[in-house]
Amino acid sequence: MTSSTQLRAAIVGSTGYGGVELIRLLQSHPYVTVTSVISSSTAGTPIAEGFPHLNEICTDLLDGIDVELIRSKADVVFLATPNGISMKLAPDFLAAGLKVIDLSGDFRLKNGDTYQEWYKHEPAPSEWVERAVYGLAEVYGEQVVGSDFISNPGCFTTTSLLALYPAVKAGWIDPDSIIIDAKSGVSGAGRGASFGTHYSEINENFKAYKINKHQHIPEIEQVLSEAAGRSVITTFTTHLVPMTRGIMATSYATMTEKRKASEFVELYRQFYEGRSFVRIYDDGKWPATKFVYGSNYCDIGFSVDERTGRITIISVTDNLVKGAAGQAIQNLNLSMGWDETLGLQFTPVYP
């Protein structure tokens, strides 16, 4: 397919935050048209009925999950579904000749036992897990090119790995010393109602959750182990903050030798050279979630503590864009051989 050909896209899970964000972002894509929005729970109703911000933008009725119907309407399927659902759907869509980009965690972990331990249910069949390309675009982009099955990384994972991968790969930090302190807005918990995200519980509150139990831990360790060439175990804690969007990951690690923050700046700029969505801050400057709000950017800054021999790396993303829908579109672009920025060339919302 050439860039002049319009690609038809279906979105399964269109009524979740990730699915709705895909609809919004794809409106700006020059080569993609959303031709099917899918929800098993509200099929037959207009998508804009539940999401008035889509009035006059997306007027489609929601489809049910019907492989033959979707095959007749689409070339690519985005699976913005809860964990455990995509593994039941992806094989049928792939067998029907559709490209599949999965935003859930079902195909991220290559070890089935690890998946069952952290996700608490049976893993997908190994042949499908092995087929899925892990779509951390700035690290595995070459593998994404030409792929018909892409597993989109998690939001915390993306934010943490982009901050740590170059230093681990270069041997500049001790992987065993890594501590990641991550904070997310409430949209990261999904659209479903829950006690923990009730307004009265989250407003004017700041709390840790899933301490040492978050499912993104083995995903982070899987990639860092590959970078280090040996097994890596990290300390990772997530926090919920009273804002809608955004992730900040503050990562700490012991340096393998004395270095200045400016050296890390140069290392990272070389590593991410030519990649449009990672912005490396000058020494002495650090990012904030507001600087990436509504965008596909990941911003990274550094501070070296000469007293302790440790480095602090601060990274921020919008969890619904770079952490989900935006990176999924970036992976679609790469898989098609297009410029990875197509449909994603917009500035963050500020203030």
Q: Which residues are catalytic?
A: 155
The CA distance from 220 to 212, in Å, is 13
Q: How many Cα atoms occupy the beta-carbon half-sphere of 279 within 13 Å?
A: 18
Tokens representing 227?
């970078």
CB 38 within 8 A of CB 64: yes
Residue that is written with structure tokens 């997310």 in the block: 184
Question: Read out DSSP for 197-225?
Answer: GSHHHHTT--EEESTTT-THHHHHHHHHH
The CA distance from 190 to 121, in Å, is 19
Dihedral sign from CA coordinates of 111, 117, 119, 125: positive
Q: What is the chain's length?
A: 351
